[in-house]
Structure 1
Amino acid sequence: MDASLDIRTGVKETMPTVFGYIGIALAFGIVGKAAGLSPLIVLLMSMFIYSGTAQFVVVSMFISHSPLLSIVLSTLLISSRMILISVTVAPYFKNDSLWKNILLGTFLTDESFALGMNKLNFTNHTLSFQWLNTANVISFLTWCFWSFVGAIMGNFVGNPEALGLDFAIVGMFIGLLYMQVIADRSLNRKLQLIVIAFTLFLTYVGFIFIPSSLLILVVTLIGCGFGVVIKRAYF
């Protein structure tokens, strides 16, 4: 990464994350097809729900004939973390117009957010609409296209987990986390590692006591609070 915030740089720096989208989008398309959804329905879900975890949950609830209201509420809870993410990003675009902020918030993803937070280490803590919008658009188009391809491939692939596709998104986040840790020199490295370890522990314990639809939101809030407290107390 470098300090440039133009469209061309956005394309170059977003491309490495594309492979993570491809893997999980293919897996979703295959799972959706196995559940009886047509490639067109899979594509429309990717376009309008546009949330990997939520889409997998919708498919599983669809198979179990869950009520429509339950599906809607589950999707809302799973995607509620995006409120926190959008609030974090918003201050960097306070000088941009309302419609630009709406556009960024609509297409913002976990991956483009993580990419943007890492980019701050190279740009004196500034972001541009052109750069982040480019990352969002590439992410959206990649997700939609490859989920559609996955639905078509579903006729030939019975078990996506056998190909390791279910690990693609995890591997991408591990890479983004590593990039963030090695690039951000404004925070003490020991502090970063403590917060990471605490978050992993919290997630492990959370799987036992917290519904999966709320786990990410709860862990995010507690993890952020823990990080703020120990930073002020010891760092």
Structure 2
Amino acid sequence: MESSLSKRAAVIDTIPTVFGYLGIASAFGVIARSTGFSTITVIMMSIIIYAGSAQFTTVSMLVAGSPIASIIFTTFMVNSRMILMSTMVAPYFKKDKLGKGILIGTLLTDESFALAMNKLNFTNDKMNFSWFNTENMISYKTWVFATAIGAILGNFIKDPKQLGLDFANVAMFIGLLYLQVNNDKSLNKLLQVIVILLTMLLTYILTMILPPSMVIIVVTLIGCALGMVIKRVFF
């Protein structure tokens, strides 16, 4: 990454995450198509919902015949973490028009958020609409395109796990996590490792206690609180 916040820099910075989108979105397309949804329906889900975990959840609940109200509520809970992410991103766009802020928030994803947080390490904690919007638009278009490809391939591939497509998103986040830890000079490396290990432990424990839709947001809140306490007391 470089310190520039131009559109060109955004394109270059976003390229690594594009491969993750290609994998997980195509996997969604294959799975949704193989469960009986039409190609157009699958593509429209990515255009309108644009949320990987929520889309997988929606497909599984529709197949199971769940009530629409339950699907809407579950989708909201699965994506509720975006409220926290948007809250962290919002201060960087205080001087921009409301419409620009809404556009950034509408297309915000886990990947674009993680990439932006890493970018701040190179820009002296500065961010602008041009860079972030370019990143979001590339991600959105890639997601829809990959979904369409997956939906078409769904006519021939019945089990995407055989191709390892289900691991693409995990691999991408591992890479983003490494870049964040490696490039963030403002925090002690030991502190970062401790918080990561605590987060992993919390995720493992809470997965056995809470509904999947609640795990991420609860782990995020507890992890942030523990990280803050550990930093102030020991670092």
The TM-score normalised by the length of structure 1 is 0.99
Query: How far apart, CA to CA, are the structure 2 residues paired with 1:101 and 1:63?
Result: 35
Shift of 1:65: 0.4
| Code of the aligned partner of 1:73 | F
Q: How many residues align?
A: 235
Please state if 1:169 is matched with 2:169. yes
Shift of 1:126: 0.4
- 1:115 is matched with 115
Query: How far apart, CA to CA, are the structure 2 residues paired with 1:94 and 1:233?
Result: 32
| Code of the aligned partner of 1:133 | N
| Code of the aligned partner of 1:221 | L
- 2:229 is matched with 229
Q: After TM superposition, list the pairs within 5 Å mapping 1:133-172 onto structure 2.
A: 133-172=133-172
Please state if 1:203 is matched with 2:218. no
Shift of 1:206: 1.2
Query: How far apart, CA to CA, are the structure 2 residues paired with 1:57 and 1:103?
Result: 24
Shift of 1:207: 1.1
- 2:217 is matched with 217
- 1:68 is matched with 68
Please state if 1:102 is matched with 2:105. no
Task: Indicate the RMSD between aligned Cα atoms, in angstroms.
Answer: 0.6
| Code of the aligned partner of 2:102 | I
For 2:208, what is the secondary structure of its paired residue? helix
| Code of the aligned partner of 1:60 | S
Shift of 1:148: 1.1
- 2:57 is matched with 57
What are structure 1's unaligned runs of at least 5 residues? none
For 1:179, what is the secondary structure of its paired residue? helix
| Code of the aligned partner of 1:128 | N
Deviations 1:151-210 (A, max 9, x none): 110011010011000000000000000000000011011100000000000011111001
| Code of the aligned partner of 1:56 | F
Query: How far apart, CA to CA, are the structure 2 residues paired with 1:157 and 1:95?
Result: 48
Query: How far apart, CA to CA, are the structure 1 residues paired with 2:206 and 2:34?
Result: 30
Please state if 1:87 is matched with 2:100. no
Query: How far apart, CA to CA, are the structure 1 residues paired with 2:101 and 2:57?
Result: 28
Please state if 1:36 is matched with 2:36. yes
Deviations 1:127-153 (A, max 9, x none): 110001011000000001111110110
Shift of 1:34: 1.0
Q: After TM superposition, list the pairs within 5 Å mapping 1:188-199 onto structure 2.
A: 188-199=188-199
| Code of the aligned partner of 1:232 | R
For 1:91, what is the secondary structure of its paired residue? helix
Deviations 1:45-64 (A, max 9, x none): 10111110010011111111
For 1:209, what is the secondary structure of its paired residue? coil
Query: How far apart, CA to CA, are the structure 2 residues paired with 1:86 and 1:40?
Result: 30
Shift of 1:6: 0.5
Please state if 1:125 is matched with 2:125. yes
Deviations 1:88-128 (A, max 9, x none): 01111111111110110000111010000000001010011
Shift of 1:35: 1.1
* Aligned-residue identity in percent: 57
The TM-score normalised by the length of structure 2 is 0.99
For 2:103, what is the secondary structure of its paired residue? helix
For 1:220, what is the secondary structure of its paired residue? helix
Shift of 1:43: 0.8
For 1:72, what is the secondary structure of its paired residue? helix
Shift >3 Å, 4+ stretches: none
| Code of the aligned partner of 1:117 | M
